[in-house]
Amino acid sequence: MEATTADLPSTPGSAPPWESSVFDPIDGAKDVRVLVLAGYGLNCEAETAAGFEMAGAQTQVVHVADLIERGPGALDHADLITFIGGFSFGDHIASGRVFANRVRHHLGDALARHVDDGGLVLGICNGFQTIVKLGLVPAQLRESGDGLAPQSASLVSNDRPGYWNCWVSLAPDLQSPSVFLRGATGAPLEVPSRHGEGKLVFADPAVEASVHASHCVPYRYVDAGGSPTEAWPDNPNGSAQGAAALCDATGRILGIMPHPEAYLYPENHPQWMAQRDEGTLPKVGWGAGILFNGVRAVTER
């Protein structure tokens, strides 16, 4: 279902969600190697790669089948691995399930080693659905040296059935350990959201409580007043406490349902002309801040 003007935020000119320094040139960015996983029905590789390239990183888009063929060392030269949006394997069984099973079987040990070596992982939409099924998030009980953690959460069908395409407002948790939030001001981040299975659930109430206590929900859907909400359409899936993202305790792994890579340019925003007329049009689309932060975090390791 396509978004209409009535579905979009009506807050042009609102406070910037990032400090301006987030978009400063990043020293050492040219040495950061970002791996963007593609194939099997995924379809956001171009804009995801473009966002990391805007930050100055070296970006390589690789079909997962080619990675598997390369063998156990396929991920060794990546600093940041990105699982992108799309419809892997047609969302059969459950979104991200088949893709996660394939990756775990062939690349699970390499992914665990990547995390233990200080590598970053970003999962967007279908990528979030995949990494949560891989156990990469929340991974509350995982310790260095373990394999991938067992799955302890999932993203299930939206409370309101069907695929919903809209812009949403996300409020950051400034106490989150996520490196992808550095420089967040506390103001809502507006980004597109498009999914049919985005409701975050947990297998164990104790894990859920631990996630919230450790501030591992970096972003929450908020209403027009800026309060976390479970109500549609501000929250398109009904996730409890407005959860829109999930990170691990290290802060180096982030899964997020809305699409930051779909707001790289000011003109991506549906009200960019109003922002231009008010003098509030940003130089870079605000969604790019998450990708810039990923690159900057690699340079600071």
Q: Dump strand ranges (E) for the chain.
A: 33-38, 58-63, 80-83, 120-124, 153-157, 164-172, 189-195, 197-202, 219-221, 245-247, 253-256
Which residue among the candidates 45, 190, 197, 261 is catalytic per the annotation?
261
Let me know if 261 is a catalytic residue: yes
Q: What is the pLDDT of residue 7?
A: 41
At 263 the pLDDT is 98
pTM of the model: 0.94
64 has pLDDT over 70: yes
In this predicted structure, the answer to whether residue 2 has a pLDDT above a threshold of 90 is: no
Looking at residues 8-23, what average pLDDT do you find?
A: 75
Q: What is the average per-residue pLDDT within 214-237?
A: 97
Residue 262 has pLDDT above 60, yes or no: yes
Q: Which one is catalytic: 106, 114, 125, 247? A: 125
pLDDT, position 92: 84
Indicate the average pLDDT of the chain: 94
Q: Is 259 among the catalytic positions?
A: yes
Q: Which domains does the chain have, with CATH numbers?
A: 5-299 (3.40.50.880)
Q: Is the pLDDT of residue 297 over 60?
A: yes
The residue annotated as part of the active site, out of 106, 114, 195, 259, is 259
Close Cβ partners of 2 (under 8 Å, ≥ 6 residues apart): 165
